[in-house]
Structure 1
Amino acid sequence: MSAMPDQAAMPDQAAASAQHATSDQPRRVIILGSTGSIGTQALDVIRANPGRFDVVGLAAGSNRAEMDAQAAEFGVADLALGAVEAEQLVRGIDADVVLNGITGSVGLGPTLAALEEGRTLALANKESLIVGGELVKGIARHGQIVPVDSEHSAIAQALRSGTAGELSRLVLTASGGPFRGRTRESLAGVTPREALAHPTWNMGLVVTTNSATLVNKGLEVIEAHLLFDVPYDRIVVTVHPQSVIHSMVEFVDGSTIAQASPPDMRLPISLGLDWPNRVAGVGVPLDWNTPHSWTFEPLDTFAFPAVKLAKQVGRAGSTYPAVFNAANEQAVAAFHAGRIGFLDIVDTIEAVVQLHEPANAVLTREALTEAEVWARREADRIIAHV
């Protein structure tokens, strides 16, 4: 996995297209997190394209009733509940694509399973790559991971416009969340309800809160570095509140290629399911007969320090990203439980990261688990004294 398609950032386009074109068989898909936002939208794409995809496995976190209803509709016999069963499901079923839409670092096991079993991994579970880091990259074959995050899908699409040597910078766009333009001082008293009022995207509790704190964008910076092998000093974030430009690639001649579409995850999901082929009708195009105003502004790193902290964590590598992510999950839960304030979320993450000392030189699943357990315990200790 590196910066450009011809150097394995994405699955080989010609080979993938030829394979799809010469096969009369639908792509066999396992959907992990089938009852969540990504999973249900993936099923929308599949439902609208009969004969193109065949759902062979479903896994949900806890909503068994909804998963059973999905299984009945799509004729799926192989089901799993929870991340451990999801990993077993991936290892036990023949499939072409595994869409990992699980939320949180518990998605690491299924991610590793998909890669080890030779499946194409349509990755919406960014935490598994961020936490797993070199462990995940070390087992991924050429072009085996296809990003589903709208930002990284946009970058993958834009990278098809140039070669590795022509790349200058990656530009990740951020909506700014519900608190764009607010000062740090004014954020002290915001409520969980306000934090969940995202202006452009409809997402789950954790991801929506992460978007409000900009932790999500910090995680996406680490993800971009790992997916495309671009140094952190060549990955920048710009605030784009309309969420129409999903990210951009800047080339050495000064040209910037942007991917634009209305905010709808069905488009990047469809590309993840059938890269590099586009699936007709999954999204509504922009209406060029009506006026549009798109704005861009610099990120306020004082009010929203999460991106700067994430870059530091990403550069440190080892188990630091796992600690960052685990501390955030604990802090987000505490915020929604009314135990800490909004600003305490990132402050808690920073405090835990500063205390961390990696125990092992070699990154293993066991080392990651130990680091996460430690980080959650330390976060809880800090939260108890806020």
Structure 2
Amino acid sequence: MKNIVILGSTGSIGTNALEIIRNKKEEFNVIGLSANSNHKLICEQIEEFKPKYVSIGTEEGKRIIEEKFSEVKVYVGREGLKKLGQIEEMDIILVAVIGAIGIEATSEAIKLGKRIALANKETMVAGGDYINKLLKENPKSEIIPVDSEHSAIFQSLMAGKKSQVKNLIITASGGTFRGKKLEDLKDVTVEQALKHPNWSMGRKITVDSSTLVNKGLEVIEAHQLFGMDYDKIKVVIHPQSIIHSLVEYDDNAVIAQLGVTDMKLPIQLAFTYPDRIQNNCLDTLDLLKVGNLTFEAPDREVFKGLDLAYRAGRIGKSMPTVLNAANEIAVDLFLNKKIKFLDIYKIIEKAMDNHEVEEIDNLDSILRIDQVTRKWVYDNYSNLD
């Protein structure tokens, strides 16, 4: 039986993970959970799964949980996430929190030689160089990607040698506004941006999908996870979201992983790899019902997030950290209706232009650049022109 810690247990990835575990209690044991502010749901999860350790985002949440569950050790905030990353008896930590806040817990788990089921792309975007350095220093640790695209690449890379890979091909749904022109996007609302055609995701990642920033972050993450040059990482729009990504080899063979638009399969694989197990909660892909699979090039002139990410990735060092932090704050400002949709691109570009690139050689430097960038955006978002 594997001991599992889930960071972000009340989000979509976290609740899917718990459904997998609920159906395979003989395989998995939950020993740690974290949530930001959803006290009601995490209390229900504690009642059902009986973890020994919990982290919550607020002191109020800590009080609520401690009153109901005196036997549970409760931590708070960012330090609480870090504490969950230091649990010796865990085998796997699922990092499914949103944003760069997941980096510390991930790094702590790596130092302990644990498996990281990584659903937090910002960890590799903002801190990829540092995380890869830690992995080399702690060879017992490993990252198994949970993002559907990177899980698909991870699986497709099993078909050949890495030295024989010609291209990684990341698929994208195209997001809420696929096919729209710049004029169409000037006054789109938050409510419109959150209506993703295929996936049920959190608010932040849904907006990221609509700007294609999400796909840009995935390009950087693929570079860091698989050690592939940016010129060998391509993006293709695939509106049906059935092919989750592909790997092209030197002999022109293209290996793809297909599946339903559901995160349960990549989550479970990250828990069980190298084994694959049957689970009644996993849906079957029916290609006859799917019918047609189509592909198109991304519109990079309208959806500028993709090229901003390629630019940040190719510059490297501290620039991806800036891209990630600026985007997080820009999306938050949009969701709170303080800026317009297209201002997200302006904020990211201006933050990158304002930044003096520096080496990323430790966690403190990542967190410092992250915080400086966030402050810069808050101080300057109202002066975009």
- TM > 0.5 fold call: yes
Query: Structure 1: where are the runs of 5+ without partners?
Result: 1-25
From 24, 38, 57, the counterpart of 2:32: 57
1:90 CA displacement: 2.2
From 85, 92, 104, the counterpart of 1:109: 104
Partner of 1:254: 252
User: What do residues 280-327 of structure 1 show as CA deviations (whole Å, max 9, x unaligned)?
Assistant: 134222224446111000011000111111011112122111111111
1:130 CA displacement: 1.2
The one-letter amino acid of 1:94's match is E
Count of matched residue pairs: 360
CA spacing shift, 1:291–1:177, aligned 2, 3 Å = closer
The one-letter amino acid of 2:42's match is M
226-235 or 271-280, larger mean C-alpha shift: 271-280
2-structure distance, mates of 1:230, 1:348: 28
Partner of 2:341: 342
Where 2:86 maps in the other structure, the secondary structure is helix
1:65 CA displacement: 2.8
For the Cα contact (< 8 Å) 1:218–1:307, is it kept in 2?
Answer: yes
2-structure distance, mates of 1:318, 1:161: 32
For the Cα contact (< 8 Å) 2:32–2:51, is it kept in 1?
Answer: yes
For the Cα contact (< 8 Å) 1:59–1:80, is it kept in 2?
Answer: yes
Partner of 1:18: none
Partner of 2:53: 78
TM-score w.r.t. length of structure 1: 0.90
1:361 CA displacement: 3.3
From 133, 136, 141, the counterpart of 1:138: 133
Partner of 1:14: none
Partner of 2:294: 295
1-structure distance, mates of 2:290, 2:27: 36
For the Cα contact (< 8 Å) 1:122–1:148, is it kept in 2?
Answer: yes
For the Cα contact (< 8 Å) 1:331–1:348, is it kept in 2?
Answer: yes
Partner of 1:98: 93
Q: RMSD in angstroms over aligned alpha carbons? A: 1.4
| 2:217 corresponds to 1:222 | no
CA spacing shift, 1:290–1:196, aligned 2, 3 Å = closer
1-structure distance, mates of 2:372, 2:288: 55
CA spacing shift, 1:291–1:154, aligned 2, 3 Å = closer
| 2:250 corresponds to 1:234 | no
Partner of 2:41: 66
186-195 or 374-383, larger mean C-alpha shift: 374-383
1:362 CA displacement: 4.6
1:279 CA displacement: 2.7
2-structure distance, mates of 1:46, 1:96: 14
1:57 CA displacement: 1.0
1:382 CA displacement: 2.9
The one-letter amino acid of 1:48's match is N
| 2:198 corresponds to 1:200 | yes
For the Cα contact (< 8 Å) 2:213–2:306, is it kept in 1?
Answer: yes
For the Cα contact (< 8 Å) 1:330–1:379, is it kept in 2?
Answer: yes
Partner of 1:384: 382
CA spacing shift, 1:28–1:193, aligned 2, 3 Å = same
CA spacing shift, 1:291–1:125, aligned 2, 3 Å = closer
1:89 CA displacement: 2.0
90-99 or 342-351, larger mean C-alpha shift: 90-99
Partner of 1:304: 303
The one-letter amino acid of 1:342's match is F
The one-letter amino acid of 1:77's match is K
The one-letter amino acid of 1:137's match is N
TM-score w.r.t. length of structure 2: 0.91
1-structure distance, mates of 2:376, 2:119: 28
2-structure distance, mates of 1:224, 1:157: 13
How does 1:260-279 map onto structure 2 within 5 Å?
Answer: 260-279=258-277
1:66 CA displacement: 1.7
1-structure distance, mates of 2:17, 2:383: 42
Partner of 1:370: 368
* Higher RCO by CA contacts (8 Å cutoff, separation 6 or greater): 1
Partner of 1:152: 150
